Chains A and B, each alone.
Chain A
């Protein structure tokens, strides 16, 4: 199968959907003339023109709300945030407008739109550019929250998100845009809300999503090689809805679970999964649920402080050993 970059997979998804449906357009900072701050939208202005690939001033609240209004009136906007850190100045429109409209209008105005862009740390960018809000958005009914982990997911899930009739938060990573992976030439769509078992295992379940899935996979490799421990790795793909069934099924098999996530620990996706597992698989658990999150602090600049705060392979292996009483 051919191999393409994560950013190319996203671009293919948008290109294909924009060719398929005239009502889809892309709007955001630097998406058109500049070809995308991270080159995701490279060439799209040339193909679709300035009507459908729209550069904005730095005005996130304005263009996020404008997107919601356009969605109320029949269009299917893709609104790009240069990063989700900047979505905070637009969050009123995401939470109070996009997520509420269908409900508070009694089903008259659905919001078929995608808010997309990178989330999480991307190296030494300092505290304001290194945050994860997957759990914030996932907390809010009315939204769907998708976090792809590789180019294959990125394309299949973004195409589905664009066709979805509800507002979808689609969270990427600056650190993944250059990642390469197999993506079929022929069209495919991936459902939102279905997890993927990335590797099967017997001894412990790892649940993760987004770029931190790499940490889980690497830890699983090392555990297999060095400790003969077989980890089952689940890629959630979306954190609203969460595929609880896949998690519970796996825990019933392995009896042990570690959740690995980049967000801060309090009210995280890991916390939610821990609740669900103790409620629905209590008798199957042979050890307390473990979670690996970023440390409970703003991310600092110095490399040592970054490395010490983020989830990593070593902490994941330690957690696996803890649930295995090794």
Chain B
């Protein structure tokens, strides 16, 4: 109860402790994620992108608010809705788009695809394809930070579907018991593929699951990037001061289906429209205009710049070569001369 109350207080306060620079950064990052994913959706339709493809449209505040609340050196891991996060962690849009195309210049050299973006240099520990599988990994990444005595943490994202997996509960228990510096984030977009949260358990306030492990937990209106930032900043403070993990439930919404092959017939037009009214980018835009941090024209210019970036990314991906078939046998083992069975 106290957690719910806390959330309400913060939302109604709407205090704007964030400066112009932060708002402008949020606007640009969220626009980049939105435009990139819109383009990915189009290219999927043109069969330039194959396989599965899960878009982040609608959920942008989840990533943007977390990036602004954390620092370089913190580690990120997520499930397979993973195109957007690396874009704002420093991976070039070209490398992400090339990965979607399956090109050798992709951030996973064309070996991962949509669900397996990785960028070690920018501390992005990947997109993972088995629901819930990345949650113990996130705890392990944090274990290594604790073992090495750093002040880095791991932020570990999952969808609402993942919280019904054993991996979630085992990882939460270990992380809390060992006070690992990890922030568990449930991006609750309401649907595990086509199954609504209400159809999966008696417990539909997902943050409450943390209380089984005495883990501080909180629900967050994740259509508001400010709320996301504040919740993550508070959790980061806890993690860095040795108090251990936090479970955050980001209440968000995906405008598109679960994947490109999902027409999302399990929800109403009205429901989607209702969420679009709270669009996270529009909210940031409104604040920027209200506070006169920038004009409509300034924001249009940013949108144009981002669109150009995305076009460049597409061109880069188009122009890049597919991996040489010889690459089948590289990077399976770290051992350079592993004797594969060849017949």
A residues at B contact (CB < 8 Å): 25, 51, 56-57, 59, 61-75, 89, 92-93, 96-97, 101-110, 112, 141-142, 144, 164-166, 193, 241, 279
The answer to the question of B119 belonging to the interface, with a C-beta cut-off of 8 Å to chain A, is yes
Query: For B330, what are the chain A residues with a Cβ–Cβ distance below 8 Å?
Result: 107
Contact B339 A59 (CB under 8 A): no
Contact A102 B140 (CB under 8 A): no
In the complex formed, the residue of A with least CB distance to B148 is A74
CB distance from A79 to the nearest CB of B (A): 10
Could you list 17 examples of A-B contacts with CB < 8 Å?
Answer: A61-B166, A61-B170, A65-B133, A65-B170, A66-B136, A66-B140, A68-B137, A73-B125, A97-B128, A103-B332, A104-B108, A104-B116, A104-B126, A105-B108, A105-B116, A108-B118, A141-B340
The answer to the question of B173 belonging to the interface, with a C-beta cut-off of 8 Å to chain A, is yes
CB distance from A135 to the nearest CB of B (A): 14
Contact A106 B110 (CB under 8 A): yes
Contact B141 A72 (CB under 8 A): yes
A166–B334 CA distance with the chains assembled, in angstroms? 6
Contact B144 A62 (CB under 8 A): no
Contact B333 A69 (CB under 8 A): no
Which of A66, A110, A144 meets B139, CB within 8 Å? A66
In the complex formed, the residue of A with least CB distance to B166 is A61
Q: Which 4 A-B pairs have the closest CB atoms?
A: A69-B140, A65-B136, A62-B170, A106-B109
Contact A73 B167 (CB under 8 A): no
A241 in contact with B173 given A73-B145, A92-B133, A106-B107 (CB within 8 Å): no
Within 8 A of A (CB), among B115-154: 116, 118-120, 125-126, 128-130, 133, 135-145, 147-148, 154
Contact A65 B137 (CB under 8 A): yes
Query: For A57, what are the chain B residues with a Cβ–Cβ distance below 8 Å?
Result: 173-174, 177
Query: For A107, what are the chain B residues with a Cβ–Cβ distance below 8 Å?
Result: 109, 330-331
A112–B331 CA distance with the chains assembled, in angstroms? 14
Query: For B174, what are the chain A residues with a Cβ–Cβ distance below 8 Å?
Result: 56-57, 59, 62-63, 66
A187–B143 CA distance with the chains assembled, in angstroms? 31
Which of A51, A66, A102, A110 meets B171, CB within 8 Å? A66
A3–B333 CA distance with the chains assembled, in angstroms? 35
CB distance from B173 to the nearest CB of A (A): 7
How many residues from B make CB contacts under 8 Å with A?
50
A75 in contact with B334 given A62-B174, A69-B138 (CB within 8 Å): no
Contact B333 A106 (CB under 8 A): no
Query: For B118, what are the chain A residues with a Cβ–Cβ distance below 8 Å?
Result: 104-106, 108-109
18 more contacts with CB within 8 A, not counting A61-B166, A69-B77, A69-B140, are: A56-B174, A57-B173, A59-B173, A66-B136, A66-B140, A69-B136, A69-B137, A69-B141, A70-B141, A72-B140, A73-B144, A93-B136, A97-B128, A102-B331, A103-B332, A106-B331, A241-B338, A241-B339
Query: For A165, what are the chain B residues with a Cβ–Cβ distance below 8 Å?
Result: 334-335
The answer to the question of B106 belonging to the interface, with a C-beta cut-off of 8 Å to chain A, is yes
CB distance from A60 to the nearest CB of B (A): 8
The answer to the question of B111 belonging to the interface, with a C-beta cut-off of 8 Å to chain A, is yes
The answer to the question of B257 belonging to the interface, with a C-beta cut-off of 8 Å to chain A, is no
Query: For B126, what are the chain A residues with a Cβ–Cβ distance below 8 Å?
Result: 101, 104-105, 109
A51–B296 CA distance with the chains assembled, in angstroms? 55
Q: Mark B313-343, 1 if CB is under 8 A from A, else 0.
A: 0000000000000000011111100111001
Contact A142 B332 (CB under 8 A): yes
In the complex formed, the residue of A with least CB distance to B135 is A65
Contact A97 B133 (CB under 8 A): yes
A101–B144 CA distance with the chains assembled, in angstroms? 17
Query: For A73, what are the chain B residues with a Cβ–Cβ distance below 8 Å?
Result: 75, 125, 140-141, 143-145
Contact A164 B335 (CB under 8 A): yes
In the complex formed, the residue of A with least CB distance to B128 is A97
A109 in contact with B125 given A71-B140, A72-B140, A166-B335 (CB within 8 Å): yes
Contact A97 B333 (CB under 8 A): no
Query: For B107, what are the chain A residues with a Cβ–Cβ distance below 8 Å?
Result: 106
Query: For A92, what are the chain B residues with a Cβ–Cβ distance below 8 Å?
Result: 130, 133, 167
Query: For B335, what are the chain A residues with a Cβ–Cβ distance below 8 Å?
Result: 164-166
Contact A97 B170 (CB under 8 A): no
The answer to the question of B112 belonging to the interface, with a C-beta cut-off of 8 Å to chain A, is yes
Which of B111, B144, B332 meets A70, CB within 8 Å? B144
CB distance from A21 to the nearest CB of B (A): 13
A112–B119 CA distance with the chains assembled, in angstroms? 18
Query: For B171, what are the chain A residues with a Cβ–Cβ distance below 8 Å?
Result: 62, 65-66
Query: For A103, what are the chain B residues with a Cβ–Cβ distance below 8 Å?
Result: 111, 331-332
Contact B111 A104 (CB under 8 A): yes
Which among B119, B137, B140, B148 has the greatest number of chain A C-beta atoms within 10 A? Answer: B140
Contact B170 A59 (CB under 8 A): yes
Which among B108, B133, B138, B147 has the greatest number of chain A C-beta atoms within 10 A? Answer: B147
Query: For B136, what are the chain A residues with a Cβ–Cβ distance below 8 Å?
Result: 61-66, 68-69, 93
In the complex formed, the residue of A with least CB distance to B338 is A241
Contact B144 A69 (CB under 8 A): yes
A112–B130 CA distance with the chains assembled, in angstroms? 21
Query: For B116, what are the chain A residues with a Cβ–Cβ distance below 8 Å?
Result: 104-105
Q: Mark B148-163, 1 if CB is under 8 A from A, else 0.
A: 1000001000000000
A108 in contact with B119 given A64-B136, A65-B139 (CB within 8 Å): yes
Which among A56, A67, A70, A75 has the greatest number of chain B C-beta atoms within 10 A? Answer: A70
Contact B112 A104 (CB under 8 A): yes
Contact B334 A112 (CB under 8 A): yes
CB distance from B10 to the nearest CB of A (A): 31
Contact B125 A68 (CB under 8 A): no
Contact B120 A108 (CB under 8 A): yes
